[in-house]
Chains A and B, each alone.
Chain A
Amino acid sequence: MARSELAEFALDPVFADFLDDVARRTPPDASVAVLVPPRPDVYRYQAVYFLAPRRVLDAERISQAQFVAIYARAAESAPGAETLTNGSLSRR
């Protein structure tokens, strides 16, 4: 069964694929700012849990990140950003 079909991603199954894409494209010791919808909180918690051991940061700490992953907000992607499932990833 794909992770996106599980109860933990029942709220937004596509988010599982997005996190898989981020994990594949960033090294385990990277710091990644993951910009997700502010509500519900579970987006943030899922990102931190599934991307471990990467240091996952929120929008307020974007200056400390080596990568910026944006979910579901294509218009905010930086020029040259890599396209992910329903999102984008750029190196800072």
Chain B
Amino acid sequence: MNPGGAAAVLAALTVTWLTGKALTRTLARKVGFGEAIAWAGAAGLSFQAALFAVLAALGVDPGARWLLAGDAAAIAASFVVRARAQTSPPAPAPFPVRDPLALVLTGVAGFAWLIFLIAAVAEPMWSTDFLAIWGMKGKAMFLAGSLPGRLFQDPALYWSHREYPLLVPLCLASIARLAGAWNDQALAIVFPVIELWTLLLLGGFVRRRTGSSVCGAAAAALAALCFPLYHPVNAGTAEIPFAFGAVLLSCAALDSPGPRVAAGRLFLAALFCAGAKQEGTLFAFLLAAALVLASIRPARATQWKSASLLVAVPAALWLLLYLLRGPQTRRDFDFQLFGPSHWPELARRFESVLSRMLFREGREAIVSLLAIGLFLLITRKGFSDLLLAVLAGQIFFYAVAFSLSSFDPMYAIDGAFRRIATTLFPVLALILAARLPRPPVAQGAV
């Protein structure tokens, strides 16, 4: 790899993160060191993408100077807000991980992350989805210094999923603009960095909520070992950002109801998750439903507020994208199958899809699935079990989506199910780690 290109992307990511750090000065109060780093990353990427889009909408070419000026303005504004609020957030705790098991698990997570880092940056990003969707759009935005209308209107690009959200292409374009070049090998660094933020968030959150550094490190290690997700084929696509978004949203939802800063984190997480992939909107809606159902007994108004936020933010984002690009057809789905005359066919398709998912995809992962099932049976309930219902709902709606496929549903399952299912694994890691028995020495220690 060209060291200059890598250094430029790292510098751009550092600026992005520092901007996010300033923006989350208040938002990330009362969370741990690793969590604060992750929230700053999410805020920085979201802000950079939004800044690129706003400058482009204003007719300004979003070059590095404009982006840096916007970042500097955001950092300055954060100081003003902080001074007005007269709050002094507590200094984030460093890493006081002394438990030998926690150290080993942290080492496993670090080693697994290093493997992905090396594999991801070894070559320019190459996966089909990068070339056809995420990278193609990002490169077009980078080169044009705008959001070219062609991306949403040109019939020649009918296959590029014009209906997909734009956070990932906008992030790639803005980071490349900050770095001064579209270097599709150096830009791959973005994806291991997002993985690192995911692991820090998982580890920090589980540790804070369980009081056990072993549980936190186990969550991070388990997620890092999901090599089908953290694989070079996913460098340059929205899978890794969505996995990060799902963890952000899960952590924010589990911290709600809480102070206003918790609602702020929920807002940012919903924006990031829905902005990364369409599945992110589904995840937010399912999480909203789970929060509502969980708060029926006893009724708690704040959960309704959180649930409303989880619906409102993706809906507002969808409206914004609709205004930007106009109506977009979803050529992947045949919604006529919802018509009453097609119900028998839809039922047959759904049965075939479930059968394929259970007896082909499920069979290949049977050992892992049985181990997870057994673990859930023998361990006590955890504080994050609510998310199990969300994950089950997500898989159910994937089955519905495959049943509605305009093409052969079996082809769609074979091509996409494993890839999209693995993006949920970091959330599952959170659930499993929260159920681990806590070592007595770690009880009560945060």
Chain A contact residues, CB within 8 Å of chain B: 3, 6-8, 28, 41-42, 44-46, 48-49, 52-53, 55-58, 61
Contacts and interface: CB of A to CB of B under 8 A. Distances in A.
Nearest to B130: A49
A6 B185 CA distance: 11
8 contacts: A6-B123, A7-B126, A41-B159, A42-B128, A42-B131, A45-B132, A48-B132, A53-B140
A40 B155 CA distance: 20
The 9 A-B residue pairs with the shortest CB-CB distance, nearest first, are A8-B126, A45-B132, A45-B131, A49-B131, A53-B143, A49-B136, A52-B139, A57-B156, A7-B126
A8 B131 CA distance: 9
Nearest to B128: A42
A61 B158 CA distance: 12
Interface of B: 123-126, 128, 131-132, 135-136, 139-140, 143-144, 150, 154-157, 159-160, 232
A45 B124 contact: no
Contacts of B128: 41-42, 45
Contact of B135 (A6, A7, A49, A53): A49
- Residue in A41, A49, A58 whose Cβ sees the most chain B Cβ within 10 Å: A49
Contacts, number: 51
Contact of B154 (A42, A49, A52, A55): A55
Nearest to A47: B131
Nearest to A65: B156
A58 B126 CA distance: 21
B157 A48 contact: yes
A49 B172 CA distance: 14
Given A41-B159, A56-B156, A58-B156, A49 B139 contact: yes
Contacts of B126: 6-8
Contacts of B135: 49
A45 B136 contact: yes
Contact of A7 (B123, B143, B154, B155): B123
A8 B123 contact: yes
A48 B148 CA distance: 14
B232 to A, nearest CB: 8
A59 to B, nearest CB: 11
Contact of A55 (B136, B143, B156): B156
Contacts of B156: 55-58, 61
A52 B140 CA distance: 7
Given A48-B160, A52-B140, A53-B143, 15 more contacts: A3-B124, A6-B124, A7-B126, A8-B126, A41-B128, A45-B131, A49-B132, A49-B135, A49-B136, A49-B139, A52-B136, A52-B139, A53-B140, A53-B144, A57-B156
Contacts of A7: 123, 126, 232
A61 B125 CA distance: 29
Nearest to A40: B128
A57 B150 CA distance: 12
A22 to B, nearest CB: 16
A55 B150 contact: yes
B143 A48 contact: no
B57 to A, nearest CB: 19
A55 B144 CA distance: 12
Nearest to B122: A7
B212 to A, nearest CB: 41
B137 to A, nearest CB: 10
A86 to B, nearest CB: 20
Nearest to A58: B156
Contacts of A44: 132, 159
B1 to A, nearest CB: 10
A46 B131 contact: yes
Contacts of A3: 124
Given A48-B157, A58-B156, A8 B150 contact: no
